[in-house]
Amino acid sequence: MSANRYLLIIDDDSDDRALFIEAVKEIDATIRCVSADNGQHALELLHTSPDRLPDFIVLDLRMPRYSGKRFLFEIKNDQRLKNIPVIIYTTSKSVEESNELARLGACHFMTKPRNSGEIYYLASFILGEKWVLPESHMRPPDISN
Amino acid sequence: MVCVRCRIIVEEILTRLNVPFEKVELGKVTMSSGLTPDQRHLLDVWLAHYELEVMDNAKQILVERIKISIIEVFHSKNDDLLLKFSEHLSKDLSYDYTYLANVFSEVEGSTIEKFYIQQKIQRVKELIMYEGMGLKEIAYSLNYSSVSHLCKQFKKVTGKTPAGFRKDWQAPMKEKTENEIYIR
């Protein structure tokens, strides 16, 4: 089953992308990792790949032009994309922001660690869990406020 | 104090010092009355002997509660494991998950996810050693996405494969004589 898994990482920092993918490959070399450097690029990738959707999306928040939050809102309002588990991977430690992203449908919120040795465990955590979206997140989120 | 052995040690120390207590749980003692300065001093000395300590810092106490909550979820027989890890912690400790993760990192200098994985592997070891369970069964009971993922995670954390660990654990048992007992 794991041989076919596909992960999309969206982060404008190329070092962070490379370190995360390195950790993922250490866990399972067969996982297909695709990266995008902002939300718009990621949406284009998802819309132009009809064959297969990612099993997880790892999403940074602070990105130029098209933020992670905007990307999350877009895919949770897209019937085809809304059930892909999205894990936030950010420098933010804001409780308010994490709550808001959970309401928008993010599965998990992780702060990027200072020590790069910890990235393995974050990646292993993501790949090891069975991400089931809560019922409330199967519907398009309400962002009227 | 995040294991059963620590709880037993604390019970013995309190009894030895004639300190009345109502109950000793993982990470928490409910006293019958307050400690005198002398009792507190002796308690600190005895706990230090076993590399334990009384925690007075609120954040340290919260981190201890996080650790206990994570350990307990792996020993529970209910559906806690089916609940998302972050939701379980928030529900159990009545704090937002991100707040808990921030406090944990600040106090421990390491992520909550790493501790979660280390404890999960500890539970895998226990299920191999004491329950004799197979890897498929363990992966299912601990909600792993696959047996392969369990094996890779096990190797990273312990330096051994689950099969190697099982073999090392069983080897002394096969060679032991009637007069020997083994304690781990």
- Shared domain for B167 and B131, answered yes or no, is yes
Q: What is the pLDDT of residue B154?
A: 95
* Contact between A93 and B145 using a beta-carbon 8 Å cutoff: no
Give me the DSSP letters along A75-121.
Answer: HHT-TTTTTS-EEEEES---HHHHHHHHHHT-SEEEEPPSSGGGHHH
For residue A143, pLDDT over 50 is answered with no
Which token pair is B184? Answer: 């781990």
> How far is Cα A87 from Cα A110, in angstroms, rounded to an integer?
8
* Residue-range domains of chain A with CATH: 2-127 (3.40.50.2300)
Q: What is the pLDDT of residue B2?
A: 59
- Shared domain for B123 and B162, answered yes or no, is yes
> How far is Cα A99 from Cα A145, in angstroms, rounded to an integer?
14
- Shared domain for B103 and B138, answered yes or no, is no
For residue A145, pLDDT over 50 is answered with no
- Shared domain for B87 and B144, answered yes or no, is no
Q: What is the DSSP letter of B80?
A: G
- Shared domain for B130 and B184, answered yes or no, is yes
Percent of residues, chain A, with pLDDT higher than 70:
88
- Shared domain for B138 and B181, answered yes or no, is yes
Distances (CA, A) of A86 to A56, A65, A72, A102, A127: 6, 20, 8, 10, 12
Which token pair is B39? Answer: 């009792």
> How far is Cα A12 from Cα A59, in angstroms, rounded to an integer?
10
- Shared domain for B139 and B175, answered yes or no, is yes
Chain B nearest-CA distance from A12, in A, is 23
Burial of B174 (0-12, 13-18, 19+ CB in 10 A): exposed
- Shared domain for B117 and B170, answered yes or no, is yes
- Quote ipTM for the complex: 0.80
pTM: 0.78
For residue B36, pLDDT over 60 is answered with yes
φ/ψ of B23, rounded to 5, equals -155, 155
- Shared domain for B87 and B103, answered yes or no, is yes
Nearest to B96 among A2, A98, A120 (CB): A98
Tell me the pairing of strands A86-90 and A32-36.
Answer: unpaired
Q: Which domain holds residue B17?
A: 4-49
Give me the DSSP letters along A35-54.
Answer: EESSHHHHHHHHHT--S---
Nearest-10 crossing angle of helices B97-108, B58-75: 110
Could you report the per-residue pLDDT of B9-28, keeping only the tens digit for each? Answer: 889 999 988 888 898 887 78
> How far is Cα A10 from Cα B102, in angstroms, rounded to an integer?
23
- Shared domain for B118 and B184, answered yes or no, is yes
Distances (CA, A) of B116 to A44, A61, A81, B1, B177: 35, 24, 29, 17, 38
φ/ψ of B164, rounded to 5, equals -65, -40
Residue the block writes with tokens 């810092």: B57
Give the total number of structural domains in chain B.
3
Provide the β-strand partners of residue B83: none
Q: Which residues of B are less than 8 Å from A109 in CB distance? A: 86, 97-98, 101
Could you report the per-residue pLDDT of B44-103, keeping only the tens digit for each? Answer: 888 888 888 887 788 988 999 999 999 888 887 656 566 678 888 999 999 999 999 999
- Shared domain for B65 and B125, answered yes or no, is no
Asked which of B110, B131, B154 is the last residue of a domain, the reply is B110
Could you report the per-residue pLDDT of B148-162, keeping only the tens digit for each? Answer: 889 999 999 999 999
- Shared domain for B27 and B93, answered yes or no, is no
Which token pair is A73? Answer: 């809102």
Asked whether the beta carbons of B152 and A27 are under 8 A apart, the reply is yes
Residues of A with CB under 8 A from a CB of B: 1-2, 26-28, 93-95, 98-99, 107-111, 113, 115, 118, 120-122, 124-125, 127-130, 132, 134
Asked whether the beta carbons of A27 and B149 are under 8 A apart, the reply is yes
In this structure, the number of other CB atoms found within 10 A of the CB of residue B19 comes to: 18
- Considering only residues 75 to 134 of chain B, which have any Cβ-Cβ distance to chain A shorter than 8 Å? 84-86, 96-99, 101-102, 105, 110-111, 113-114, 116-117, 120
* Contact between B113 and A1 using a beta-carbon 8 Å cutoff: no
